């Protein structure tokens, strides 16, 4: 079974986003085992340095990484892919022997360079800006779509 781990900064607060995550978790069960790890976000205040906030969040994220997994970070400067090329990304890496993937999504401030440097793959969901909570649902939908493409189901038209 393929393992997908999503490490996200902050709790999902919006109920409609929680419903979307739950929906795609159910759909993904036939293709992969999904584990969602929420990292406690640091409070953003005027007295706290943003770099220090990112470093504290990075330390928490890095403790959740496993060497056997391919690490993919979502970053505004990452590669834009079509749904088809994202499916091909999974296929190529499955053929290389990866069966476990970790996706990292930062919080409101993004991610520390420390996290970006340990992840060989940097992915952008879009040139548009989404909230970090909405990005979770969008990513899950695209992961589901990628597996649907690979399995040639009717979901992707």
Q: Which residues of the chain have pLDDT under 70?
A: none
**Domain layout of the chain by residue ranges:** 2-150
Q: Is 68 helix (H, G, I), strand (E, B) or coil?
A: coil
**CA–CA distance, 151 with 145 (Å, rounded to integer):** 10
Buried b (16+ CB within 10 A) or exposed e, 93-113: eeeeeeebbbbbbbbebbbbe
- pLDDT tens digits, 100-131: 999 999 998 899 999 999 999 999 999 898 99
Average pLDDT over all residues of the chain: 93
Backbone angles phi, psi at 124, to 5 degrees: -115, 135
State pTM to two decimals. Answer: 0.94
CATH superfamily to which 2-150 belongs = SPOUT methyltransferase, trefoil knot domain (3.40.1280.10)
**CA–CA distance, 122 with 90 (Å, rounded to integer):** 14
């Amino acid at each position: 079974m393929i393992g997908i781990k999503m490490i996200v900064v902050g709790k999902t607060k919006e109920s409609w986003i929680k419903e979307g995550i739950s929906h795609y978790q159910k759909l993904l069960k036939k293709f992969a085992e999904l584990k969602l790890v929420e990292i406690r976000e640091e409070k953003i205040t005027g007295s706290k340095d943003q770099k220090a906030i990112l470093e504290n969040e990075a330390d928490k994220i890095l403790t959740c990484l496993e060497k056997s997994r391919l690490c993919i970070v979502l970053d505004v400067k990452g590669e834009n892919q079509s749904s088809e090329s994202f499916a091909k990304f999974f296929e190529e890496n499955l053929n290389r022997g990866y069966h476990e993937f970790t996706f990292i999504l930062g919080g409101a401030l993004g991610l520390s360079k420390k996290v970006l440097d340990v992840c060989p793959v940097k992915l952008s969901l879009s040139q548009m800006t989404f909230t970090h909570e909405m990005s979770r649902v969008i990513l899950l939908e695209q992961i589901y779509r990628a597996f649907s493409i690979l399995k040639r189901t009717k979901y992707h038209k």
